Amino acid sequence: MTKKRIFQNIIKQVVCIFLSLLVLVPLYMVVINSFKTKAEAARMNLSFPTTWVFSNYVDVIKKAGLLTGFVNSMIYATVATLVGVTISAMAAFVLSRNRIKVNRKLYYFFIIGLFFPVNYVTLVRVFQWLHLTNTRLGIILVFISSMIPFCVFTIYSFVESVPREVDEAAVIDGASPLQMFFRVDFPMMKPTVVTCFILQFMGVWNDFLTPLYLSSKSKLFPMTMAVYQFFGKNQQYWNYVFADIVLTIIPVIIVYFIGQRYLIEGTVGGSVKG
């Protein structure tokens, strides 16, 4: 290995370590300060606590109403992601398999959605007219519609990796279109489908603006809104705030680690086939 190659590798490693620290150090600070007393947490340093206060998490769960927020977040993220990714997979499969002129236009119509932000002012007016404001159904519908463009775009190119001969064999065996898709093709699309599920689940879970604009009832607030409310009332109790943040991000981390293998496969597969 030449000196130039060694120097380049060192630079790459230094850059990677630096970027990793930008993510890991704030996370470490949040976690470690969540176990400190009020006075120690207010200093926001990276030292270990003199006394580990595990009761911070119990107090936060009781005071912040996190159980209600957790249930709402799970409902929004799970239902919206399952429905949105499934609908997107079905649409992407049809558009990719039958590339007629109409389907090409529909595909580009979906792609346009990637470049336009959500207009919450208009959306609120439409929801008021449909009586969907302050309802879980309304919030879920917005999440579903917002994830469809990305999921269709991601899954569309991956569909080409599924052999058409498999479809033909399923049809010969007497499978209906839905049976062919869900029993034959859908399992073969697992890497990219799981990739979309993880990314969209995290997006819905961390979303703050949509519940803020579409709900004014605390019983509908997800965990992000619960954290926001709790922080407004407890700005002096940073130990509680940090514990609240940790409890909010734990489900996302769990979902990521469960599906990280599929996330990598789906990303690589989509890039190669695209």
* Number of other CB atoms surrounding residue 4 within 10 Å: 8
Lowest mean pLDDT, pick from 11-15, 126-130, 140-144, 157-161: 157-161
Q: Is the pLDDT of residue 180 over 80?
A: yes
Percent of the chain having pLDDT more than 70?
A: 92
Higher pLDDT, residue 1 or 272: 1
Cβ pair 34, 183 in contact under 8 A:
no
143-177: pLDDT as tens digits = 999 999 999 998 888 888 788 888 888 888 888 88
Secondary structure class of 251 (helix, strand, coil): helix
Instruction: For residue 244, give both structure tokens.
Output: 């609240």
φ and ψ at residue 8, rounded to 5 degrees = -65, -40
Q: What is the mean pLDDT of residues 95-107?
A: 87
Q: Is the pLDDT of residue 265 over 70?
A: no
Lowest mean pLDDT, pick from 25-34, 51-60, 70-79, 165-174: 165-174
3-state helix, strand, coil in the chain (%, to 5): 80, 0, 20
d(CA 89, CA 151): 7
Higher pLDDT, residue 109 or 257: 109
pLDDT given at position 78: 93
Cβ pair 231, 241 in contact under 8 A:
yes
pLDDT given at position 262: 64
d(CA 123, CA 186): 33
Cα dihedral 29, 30, 36, 37 in deg (nearest 10): 120
d(CA 240, CA 246): 10
| Domain covering 62-273, topology | MetI-like fold (1.10.3720)
d(CA 29, CA 41): 10
Please report, for residues 14, 107, 209, 213, 219, the alpha-carbon distance to residue 123 in angstroms, rounded to integers and kept in the order given: 46, 23, 12, 9, 21
Secondary structure class of 272 (helix, strand, coil): helix
d(CA 269, CA 9): 27
Residues 6 or more apart in contact with residue 42 via CB below 8 angstroms = 236, 238
Residues 6 or more apart in contact with residue 241 via CB below 8 angstroms = 227, 230, 231, 234, 235
Q: What is the mean pLDDT of residues 100-119?
A: 85
Averaging pLDDT over each range in 32-41, 83-92, 201-210, 213-222, which range is the top one?
83-92
